Amino acid sequence: ARLAYSAEQISVPVCSSLQVPALQLHVSKTAMRASQKDFESALSQVKLLKDPGNEVKLKLYALYKQATEGPCNTPKPGVFDLINKAKWDAWNALGSLPKETARQNYVDLVSGLSSSSDSSSQVKPEADRKQPGYETLVVTSEDSITKIMMNRPAKKNAMTTQMYNEIMLALKAASKDDSAITVLTGNGDYYSSGNDLSNFTDIPPEGIEEKAKSGAILLRDFVDCFIDFPKPLIAVVNGPAVGISVTILGLFDTVYASNRATFHTPFSHLGQSPEGCSSYTFPKIMGPAKAAEMLIFGKKLTAAEACAQGLVTEVFPDSTFQKEVWTRLKAYSKLPPNAMRISKQVIRNREKEKLHAINAEESRVLQERWLSDECTNAVMNFLTRKAKL
Ligand SMILES: CCCCCCCCCCC/C=C/C(=O)SCCNC(=O)CCNC(=O)[C@H](O)C(C)(C)COP(=O)(O)OP(=O)(O)OC[C@H]1O[C@@H](n2cnc3c(N)ncnc32)[C@H](O)[C@@H]1OP(=O)(O)O
């Protein structure tokens, strides 16, 4: 969409008839000074830009009015005249900014928009888009989607304490960034093999009890981040999923799975108990009988079974999984972000308090389980390679 579009082409209703007056090209005499050429060129350039969004269009409007007419000189529109009020507010906010400065600011703003639209037309390699500061994840933001990818493919994306902490950081950042939706996925052939069992090995000098205590706090904080995440959260399950990577799916808004994915929570095998609020969400999603088969007996579900039981939204053939899912997500990410966020709140908020209480209880029970012989033996068996799932 170009700036010179019709009202119907603008998606956000509050500014739906916002015409950037730069296009009217009636430049006043006062503006015809030194940078008049630059200003006129910016006025032409603005027509060629990609739609910069209503916020920027309001800035352009205000600067144009200030540059050509000076400080706001019209009566404030009525409270229900939303569009004209937004325009008036933007212009009025410039106060007594001199015309020359406004003209220069207009030129600078258009020039900034031109260079960013030039660079956004080229697809940068993922390495260039990658957010710094993460060692176990690759976090990227593009097309209004923040993608958090678990990145320990050689270890089947097993979750170390560092990965739990980095996922929390990435979710907190994503909740505040300008993306519309957030995705969690895995790199390689697995989505995630769940808790990294070597988390049980670095016992502090204070003893195993302290380790279990800090593990329970970490688990609780981790799951709380999913309960509280304010935007649509999507799991792109690219392969098998185990343990905590499965249980938290009940806190996602949408779960897309490759037909290669499986869903497995072998808690009893490991001498452990359910977490991620699955003791509540799974019976609610799939009924108590099916939930018990998974959470008590460790039954592994295929992607098709998980979909039939409501844990997965849709299953895609592995050969077209990435293409189909990302096409779908790119389309969803263009929907009005505030409406999506508010819809999520309406759907989820009334359960939040309950989910926090369930998370606290599950973490408390698991803290005790980690100290049991059943758990110690199961973990030792895996780490000494006597047992595999
Ligand atoms: C007191 C402690 C407090 C700790 C703090 C915890 C905080 C939160 C805890 C939340 C509770 C979560 C519970 C769970 O998630 S339970 C589920 C745990 N996961 C498992 O039991 C899976 C174990 N892995 C396997 O059975 C197999 O690896 C698997 C079937 C997944 C894949 O088998 P495959 O033969 O295809 O591949 P490999 O076994 O050769 O794996 C490749 C390498 O990756 C390592 N690996 C894989 N998964 C894990 C894992 N979960 N933990 C540690 N390491 C893992 C595997 O050892 C191989 O490594 P090497 O190449 O070095 O041998």
User: 279-293, pLDDT tens digit by residue?
Assistant: 999 999 999 999 999
CA of 194 to the centre of ligand 1 (A): 6
Q: What is the pLDDT of residues 363-375, one digit of tens each?
A: 999 999 999 999 9
CA of 223 to the centre of ligand 1 (A): 19
CA of 290 to the centre of ligand 1 (A): 25
Q: Read off the pLDDT of each residue in 93-106 and give the average, rounded to a whole number.
A: 92
Q: Indicate if the pLDDT at residue 23 is higher than 80.
A: no
Interatomic CA distance for residues 137 and 84, integer angstroms: 45
- Cβ contacts of 205 within 8 Å, gap of 6 or more: none
Q: Read off the pLDDT of each residue in 307-313 and give the average, rounded to a whole number.
A: 98
The reply to whether ligand 1 has any atom less than 6 angstroms from the CB of 381 is no
Amino acid at 224: D
For residue 128, the model assigns a pLDDT of 65
For residue 47, the model assigns a pLDDT of 79
CA dihedral angle for residue 82, residue 83, residue 87, residue 89, rounded to 10 degrees:
10
Q: Which residue's CA is minimally distant from atom 42 of ligand 1?
A: 155
CA of 150 to the centre of ligand 1 (A): 14
Burial classification of residue 167, based on how many CB atoms lie within 10 Å of its CB (0-12 exposed, 13-18 middle, 19 or more buried): buried
For residue 302, the model assigns a pLDDT of 98
Q: Is 178:144 a contact under the CB 8 Å cutoff?
A: yes
pLDDT: is 284 or 82 the higher one? 284
Q: Read off the pLDDT of each residue in 1-21 and give the average, rounded to a whole number.
A: 33
- Closest listed residue to residue 43, CA positions, set 64, 62, 57, 28: 64
- Closest listed residue to residue 322, CA positions, set 191, 164, 167, 128: 191
**Residue 215, helix vs strand vs coil:** helix
The reply to whether ligand 1 has any atom less than 6 angstroms from the CB of 246 is no
φ, ψ at 137 (rounded to 5°): -130, 160
- The whole-chain average pLDDT of the chain stands at 88
- Closest listed residue to residue 331, CA positions, set 254, 261, 259, 258: 254
Task: Look at strands 233-237 and 254-258 and give their pairing.
Answer: parallel
Interatomic CA distance for residues 77 and 95, integer angstroms: 17
Q: Read off the pLDDT of each residue in 181-192 and give the average, rounded to a whole number.
A: 98
φ, ψ at 181 (rounded to 5°): -135, 160
Q: Read off the pLDDT of each residue in 259-265 and give the average, rounded to a whole number.
A: 98
Neighbours of 209 (CB within 10 A): 13
Interatomic CA distance for residues 81 and 75, integer angstroms: 12
CA of 244 to the centre of ligand 1 (A): 11
State which of 156, 157, 267, 296 you would mutate to test the pocket of ligand 1, scoring each by most atoms of that ligand within 8 A of its C-beta.
Answer: 156
The reply to whether ligand 1 has any atom less than 6 angstroms from the CB of 370 is yes
Closest ligand 1 atom, residue 247 Cα: 15
State which of 157, 190, 193, 263 you would mutate to test the pocket of ligand 1, scoring each by most atoms of that ligand within 8 A of its C-beta.
Answer: 193
Closest ligand 1 atom, residue 240 Cα: 31
For residue 360, the model assigns a pLDDT of 98
Q: Which residue's CA is minimally distant from atom 55 of ligand 1?
A: 155
- Closest listed residue to residue 303, CA positions, set 254, 269, 255: 255
**Residue 52, helix vs strand vs coil:** coil
pLDDT: is 265 or 126 the higher one? 265
For residue 127, the model assigns a pLDDT of 64
Interatomic CA distance for residues 138 and 167, integer angstroms: 10
The complex's ipTM works out to 0.99
Write the DSSP symbol of residue 198: G
Q: What is the pLDDT of residues 315-354, one digit of tens each?
A: 999 999 999 999 999 999 999 999 999 999 999 999 999 9
Burial classification of residue 8, based on how many CB atoms lie within 10 Å of its CB (0-12 exposed, 13-18 middle, 19 or more buried): exposed
Neighbours of 371 (CB within 10 A): 13
The reply to whether ligand 1 has any atom less than 6 angstroms from the CB of 152 is no
For residue 336, the model assigns a pLDDT of 97
The residue with tokens 């907190």 is: 172
388 band by pLDDT with thresholds 50, 70 and 90:
low
Angle between the 337-369 and 278-286 helix axes, to the nearest 10 degrees?
120
Amino acid at 56: V
Interatomic CA distance for residues 301 and 70, integer angstroms: 68
Q: Say what the pTM is.
A: 0.74
235 band by pLDDT with thresholds 50, 70 and 90:
very high
CA of 197 to the centre of ligand 1 (A): 6
The residue with tokens 């800090």 is: 214
Q: Indicate if the pLDDT at residue 207 is higher than 80.
A: yes
